[in-house]
Amino acid sequence: MPRNIIDVVDLTVEEIDELIATAEDIIQNPAKYQEACRHRQLATLFFEPSTRTRLSFESAMLALGGSVLGFSEANSSSTAKGETVGDTVHTVSCYADIIAMRHPKEGAPYAAAQFSEVPIINAGDGGHNHPTQTLTDLLTIHREKGRLNGFTVGFCGDLKFGRTVHSLVNALSRYDGIRFVLVSPAELKLPRYVKEEALKKRNLPYVQTTDLDSVMPELDLLYMTRVQKERFFNEEDYLRLKDSYILTPEKLERAKADLSILHPLPRVNEIAVAVDRDPRAAYWKQVKNGKFIRMALILKLLDIHV
Amino acid sequence: MNIDSIQNGVVLDHIQAGKSMDIYKYLHLDRLDCSVAIIKNVRSGRMGKKDIIKIDTPLELDLDVLGYIDANITVNVIRDGVRVEKTHLELPQKLVNIIRCKNPRCITVAEPQLDAVFLLSDPARHTYRCAYCDTAKDRKR
């Protein structure tokens, strides 16, 4: 059975530390890795549009000397003819050494893994999980703070459908001394099961609030998210909630000098462009880190040691 | 009220009162050609009231289904009028094709030919989660 990454908790804390160490080494010595995946192929199966994640996977594989194939929307695959996820993945696993898959339905990568002969990486399944974004976030936090423990982290925006939030809360709950501040409108609170599994079971401290300003001075990290139109069945609800939180330079006046601001991107308007010039903005560095951690993950799943 | 003893078959005892019809449905007992007795609201020292099902033919039961519906049930196998086996159930760790996920965003709803798999996540609350999308399903009470 190939090793798959469907959820970030499929990786142990030690394995995540190892991936972060490999990514750091890639950043320091890129030339050492440029032929590591020669003659290996990555298939990117994107049943839902994406810019960052797909290009990041493709860029990662190319930087390792491998090649890429795949599709970037369901309409250009046999899914449009009614093919099941299992059959599509079974077919592609005959052509590629590893598959990165994004799908709008929750659990589709788990289903795919039952039919694949090569490793499957979940590149996002609906509002459920997005483990490689979480690895990107962890690498960014590690690079910004020098550690993955002992801080207060605020999550702000859509905590209900924001899969990056669910995965990151789960991942951080395994490290020591982290306090969680959950800022969202009442309708977009963190789902109960995430709170119960990740926070309550481990007795981790957390607060829930609708007011970002009041908690801003406490935060060491602020993880902003977009209210995602595609997750709503009802456009009225989306329009009502989309502008709930907009981060501006004025709001950041009360924040710590060493705050790090993360965002999985794309943003719409929840972070004012003026904030990009603030040295505390780490989200563009986060984009770059996404490529390096995906390189490390591809190497791990293909069992390639450099 | 008297119900005849069975010679060869299965007696499901200690069913929570009112649950016997659920079990009849989940185990597809309507498809059997033999006598099936459903006895409801039997007086019980331990439970106050309980249901009993007697099935007058030897058959293999899906113990996962029974454990999911009511882990307190005891399964008695009868041969030649004598009980030869008594099994106490427990909550199964994994349910396959017993319940379906209700989350409209779950892949098993879009592709119903996939096995519906649920994993026990909280034994104290009898909570199972869809292995695909993590949606919780509390056991029927």
Write the DSSP assignment of B59-125 as a string of letters.
----HHHHHHH-TT-EEEEEETTEEEEEEE----SEEESSS----TTBHHHH-TTS--EEEEEEGGG
Cα A135 from Cα A167, distance rounded (Å): 9
Give the integer Cα–Cα distance in Å for A173 and A205: 10
Q: What per-residue confidence (pLDDT) applies to B141?
A: 45
* A1 falls within a domain: no
The beta-carbon neighbor of B106 closest among A84, A105, A197 is A105
Report the DSSP beta bridge partners of residue B42: B50
Whether residues A94 and A13 fall in one domain: yes
What is d(CA B47, CA B73) in angstroms, rounded to the nearest whole number? 11
Alpha carbon of A174: minimum distance to chain B alpha carbons (Å): 18
**Active-site entry in A44, A54, A79, A102:** A102
Chain B touched by A127 (CB under 8 Å)? yes
Domains parsed from chain B with CATH numbers: 9-88 (3.30.70.140), 94-138 (2.30.30.20)
> What per-residue confidence (pLDDT) applies to A1?
81
Using an 8 Å CB-CB cutoff, list chain B residues near A196.
122
Going B109 to B114 to B119 to B121, the CA torsion angle's sign is negative
Residue ranges with strand state E in A134-210: 151-156, 178-183, 206-209
Distance, CA of A283 to CA of A166 (rounded, Å): 18
In a shared domain, residues A271 and A162: yes
Residue A220 domain-assigned (yes or no): yes
Residue pair A260/A145 in contact (Cβ under 8 Å)? The answer is yes
Other Cβ atoms less than 10 A from the Cβ of B6: the count is: 18
Q: Are residues A189 and A264 in the same domain?
A: yes
Are A200 and A222 contained in the same domain?
yes
Q: Who's near A273: CB < 8 A, 6+ residues apart? A: none
Comparing B121 with A82, which gets the higher pLDDT?
A: B121
Q: From start to end of A33-188, where are the E strands? A: 41-46, 67-71, 98-103, 120-125, 151-156, 178-183
> Which member of A130, A163, A174, A195 is catalytic?
A130
**Do residues A146 and A244 share a domain?**
yes
Write B88-91 long-range contacts (CB < 8 A, 24+): B89/B63, B91/B67, B91/B120, B91/B123, B91/B126, B91/B139
Averaged pLDDT, B104-114: 96
Q: Known catalytic residue: A130?
A: yes
A131 class by beta-carbon count within 10 Å (0-12 exposed, 13-18 middle, 19+ buried): buried
B100 at A interface, C-beta within 8 A: no
Q: Establish whether A140 is a catalytic residue.
A: no
Per-residue CA distances from A51 to A56, A117, A164, A192, B53 (Å): 8, 27, 16, 30, 59
Q: Which chain A residues are closer than 8 Å to B106 by Cβ?
A: 105-107
Q: How confident is the model at residue B17 (pLDDT cuts 50, 70, 90)?
A: very high
Mapping DSSP to helix (H, G, I), strand (E, B) and coil, where does residue A28 land? Answer: helix
Residues of chain A with pLDDT under 50: none
Among candidates B122, B133, B136 on the partner chain, residue whose Cβ is nearest the Cβ of A107: B133
Question: Which residues lie below 8 Å from residue A234, measured CB to CB, with a gap of 6+?
Answer: none
In this structure, are A136 and A259 located in the same domain? yes
Residue A209: inside a domain, yes or no?
Answer: yes
* This prediction's pTM: 0.86
Position A306 in a domain:
no
Helices H, strands E: what count in chain B? 3, 9
Q: How far is A196 from chain B, CA to nearest CA, in Å?
A: 10
The reported pLDDT for the residue numbered B1 is 59
How far is the alpha carbon of B27 from chain A, nearest alpha carbon, in Å?
A: 27
What is the number of H-type helices and E-type strands within chain A?
10, 9
Instruction: State the burial class of residue B36 (Cβ atoms within 10 Å of its Cβ: 0-12, 13-18, 19+).
Output: middle
Q: Are residues A119 and A230 in the same domain?
A: no
Interface A-B, measured as beta-carbon pairs within 8 A, has a size of 49
Same domain (yes/no): A63, A18: yes
Whether A283 and A158 share a structural domain? yes
According to the model, what pLDDT value does residue A187 have? 85
Whether residues A253 and A193 share a domain: the answer is yes
**Residue ranges making up the domain that contains A61:** 8-128+288-301
User: Domain for residue A86, yes or no?
Assistant: yes
Looking at the fold, whether A58 and A154 belong to one and the same domain comes out as no
Task: Report the CATH number at residue A181.
Answer: 3.40.50.1370
- Per-residue pLDDT reduced to its tens digit, A159-198: 988 888 988 999 999 999 999 999 998 888 998 888 988 9
The span from the CA of A118 to the CA of B91, in Å, is 34
Least confident of A106-120, B46-60, B98-112, B127-141: B127-141
Q: Is residue A3 part of a domain?
A: no
Chain A contact for B136, CB < 8 A? yes
Query: Which residues of chain A are within 8 Å of residue B134 when distances are taken between CB atoms?
Result: 106, 128, 193
Question: Is the C-alpha dihedral spanning A297, A68, A25, A292 positive or negative?
Answer: negative
Rounded Cα distance between A162 and A262, Å, is 14
Q: Count structural domains, chain A.
A: 2
A255 lies in some domain: yes
Q: Touching check for A193 and chain B: CB below 8 Å?
A: yes
Q: A192 and A249 share a domain?
A: yes
pLDDT of residue A77: 66
